């Protein structure tokens, strides 16, 4: 979010995150911004105000809340582990009350809107309107905003400055996998298990022999497990089953936006994350590219899983940039 907003021309003062692992990556890419390692449940508003020299009722101040969204997600995640995070919007609300910024942005999964009463969203929107903020809130499909990926996100943009609702501008043509990946876009052909120790990180997870055999039989450009469902290569849970969820072990389509890039995109057993024609999962840099990170974005991480987690959890920068531009243009 910080990177996309900065690309739009907004001056990023600071980013707050509970995950210390994000610090090096943040500092490497968000020039001139402070990384504040803090748990917002314990972060004092007075501390933030003093540290960043913030003023209350500042028309030029923008507060952005992108809380972890596992609790509200329809994906099967451990809700117990994310129990506390469900109240992050309510905590963010208190910061907005304290600072009364000119602009507010909230980004989350669509589930936060489906359960707006429990998530605190309903009260937050009512409060914003009572304070004369113009509020746009909607489920956006990021492929309509320059991101080569299908991904639905809840986005709220509120402002008390312009007297008009602000929303990001849709782009015309949707980008596809072919538009951004492949040899012509700077991604040389590689094999499963390839390690790229340069900052480009065209690194890909290894595959067991049986998965290589499965991919060898999987039709290029969008093929699925149905290519070998009748053979002894099919896992027991898939054997002879021609209905149900077929994305697992599937290939991406060249001429469509990619499926949603999750934190497990490096593994073909976690979705349609196989390369459209090479017998491997997509690489770390390919996943980042489908999230709309530029080639020169640096990831300071220690493992494939950590890097994929950071990429999959991110707000696609091009989408954040579209929001930032809408705010500036207003």
- What does the alpha-carbon distance between residue 267 and residue 181 come to, in Å, rounded to a whole number? 18
52, 14 contact by CB (below 8 A):
yes
Query: CA neighbours within 13 Å on the CB side: how many for 16?
Result: 20
List the one residue out of 107, 25, 114 whose CA is nearest residue 72. 114
What are the residues facing 65 on neighbouring strands? 106
- Per the annotation, the verdict on 22 as an active-site residue is no
Asked whether 104 and 156 are in contact (CB, 8 A), the reply is: yes
Query: Which tokens hold the place of 196?
Result: 């790229």
List, in order, residues 6 or more apart from 232 with CB less than 8 Å away.
none
What separation in angstroms does the CA of 228 have from each of 30, 206, 213, 268, 297? 46, 21, 10, 15, 38
Instruction: Please pick, among 22, 66, 69, 237, the residue that the annotation labels catalytic.
Output: 69
Question: Annotated active-site positions, please?
Answer: 69
């Amino acid at each position: 979010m910080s990177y996309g907003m900065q690309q739009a021309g907004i001056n990023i003062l600071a980013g707050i995150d509970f995950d210390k692992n994000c610090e090096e990556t943040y500092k490497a890419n968000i020039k001139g911004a402070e990384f504040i390692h803090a748990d917002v449940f314990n972060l004092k508003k007075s501390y933030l105000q003093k540290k960043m020299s913030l003023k209350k009722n500042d028309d030029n101040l923008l507060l952005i809340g992108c809380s972890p969204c596992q609790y509200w997600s329809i994906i099967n995640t451990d809700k117990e582990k994310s129990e506390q995070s469900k109240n992050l919007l309510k905590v963010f609300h208190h910061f907005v009350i304290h600072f009364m910024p000119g602009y507010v942005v909230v980004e989350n999964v669509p589930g936060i809107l489906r359960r707006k009463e429990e998530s605190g969203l309903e009260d937050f929107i009512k409060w914003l309107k009572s304070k004369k903020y113009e509020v746009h809130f909607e489920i956006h499909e990021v492929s309509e905003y320059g991101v080569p990926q299908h991904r639905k996100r809840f986005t709220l943009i509120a402002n008390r400055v312009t007297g008009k609702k602000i929303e990001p501008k849709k782009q015309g043509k949707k980008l596809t996998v072919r538009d951004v990946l492949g040899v012509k876009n700077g991604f040389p052909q590689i094999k499963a298990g390839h390690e790229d120790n340069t900052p480009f990180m065209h690194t890909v997870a290894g595959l067991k022999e049986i998965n290589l055999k499965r991919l060898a039989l999987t039709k290029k450009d969008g093929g699925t497990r149905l290519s070998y469902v009748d053979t002894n290569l099919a896992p027991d849970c898939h054997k002879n089953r021609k209905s149900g969820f077929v994305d697992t072990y599937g290939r991406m389509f060249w001429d469509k936006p990619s499926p949603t890039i999750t934190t497990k995109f490096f593994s073909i057993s976690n979705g349609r994350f196989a390369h459209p024609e090479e017998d491997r999962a997509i690489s770390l840099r390919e996943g980042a590219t489908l999230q709309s990170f530029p080639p020169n974005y640096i990831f300071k991480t220690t493992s494939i899983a950590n890097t994929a987690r950071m990429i999959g959890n991110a707000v696609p920068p091009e989408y954040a940039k579209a929001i930032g531009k809408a705010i500036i243009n207003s």
